[in-house]
């Protein structure tokens, strides 16, 4: 699932020190330029006494909207390295603000590029990042004799049930990546000789947090 876009489930803060300058990277999920601007402003207020608040954000599939700001640092030495870390990580719908407290030693353009990039990576490392998986929600309805076969097929495909209901029959909800739906339906149909009912409940984007499914 490494080819799927990634999202920020929980933002964090990371910090590095380079030649006495402190670089503090704050990360947040954002879904619009307005949200990104509000987050940048909140960081600016939190660290009101810092010299620079450089930032970058990426919104939408294919990096539809992306912006970066050097906030007074030499052109291309701050915002662009932060943006490169975001796009290179595969994280979307996210904003990183790197605040710098100057330590009295000039870093030069190359030093700034490296420091802002390292800080941005530290911010992402301190955050909880999930893969956003486009999929479908399927309900499988079967008798008790068939559920073992279905669970075996699902397990081999790396699928886990989202919810199970046991009554007169067994009803299992599966969140399945789009590309795996047809094969799963075919295998369940063949394994149960068509006795299992399969209902497509529609498209659902989801993520996996540990052993928990998260609907997005």
Whole-model pTM? Answer: 0.83
Residue ranges covered by each domain of the chain: 6-130, 133-215
pLDDT in tens, 134-176: 999 999 999 999 999 999 999 999 898 999 999 999 999 999 9
Domains 6-130 and 133-215 share a fold: no
For 87-133, the pLDDT digits (tens) are 999 999 999 999 999 999 999 999 999 999 999 999 999 999 999 89
pLDDT band at 210 (very low <50, low <70, confident <90, very high): confident
The CATH architecture one would assign to domain 133-215 is: 2-Layer Sandwich (3.30)
Pairing mode of beta strands 52-59, 65-69: antiparallel
The CATH code of the domain at 6-130 is 3.30.230.30
How far is 74 from 33, CA to CA, in rounded Å? 24
SS (H, E, C) 16-81: EEECCEEEEEEEEECCCHHHHHHHHHHHHHHCCCCCEEEEEEEECHHHCEEEEECCCCCCCCCHHH
Which pLDDT band holds residue 55 (cuts at 50, 70, 90)? Answer: very high
- 170-177 vs 161-166, strand pairing mode: antiparallel
Of 180, 96, 109, residue with least CA distance to 138:
180
């Amino acid at each position: 699932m490494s080819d799927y876009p990634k999202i920020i489930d929980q933002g964090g803060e990371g910090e590095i020190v380079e030649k006495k300058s402190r670089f503090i990277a704050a990360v947040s999920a954002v879904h619009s330029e307005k949200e990104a601007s509000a987050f940048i402003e909140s960081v600016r207020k939190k660290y009101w006494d810092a010299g620079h608040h450089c930032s970058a954000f990426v919104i939408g599939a294919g990096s539809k909207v992306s912006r970066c700001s050097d906030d007074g640092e030499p052109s291309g030495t701050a915002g662009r390295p932060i943006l490169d870390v975001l796009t290179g990580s595969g994280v979307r719908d996210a904003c990183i603000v790197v605040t710098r407290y100057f330590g009295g030693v000039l870093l030069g353009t190359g030093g700034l590029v490296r420091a802002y990039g390292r800080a941005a990576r530290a911010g992402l490392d301190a955050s909880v990042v999930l893969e956003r998986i486009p999929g479908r929600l399927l309900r499988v309805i079967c008798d008790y004799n068939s559920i073992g076969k279905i669970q075996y097929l699902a397990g081999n495909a790396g699928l886990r049930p989202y919810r199970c209901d046991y009554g007169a029959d067994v009803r299992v909800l599966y969140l399945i990546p789009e590309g795996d739906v047809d094969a799963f339906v075919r295998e369940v149909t063949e394994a149960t000789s068509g006795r299992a009912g399969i209902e497509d409940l529609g498209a659902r984007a989801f993520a996996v947090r540990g052993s928990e499914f998260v609907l997005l």
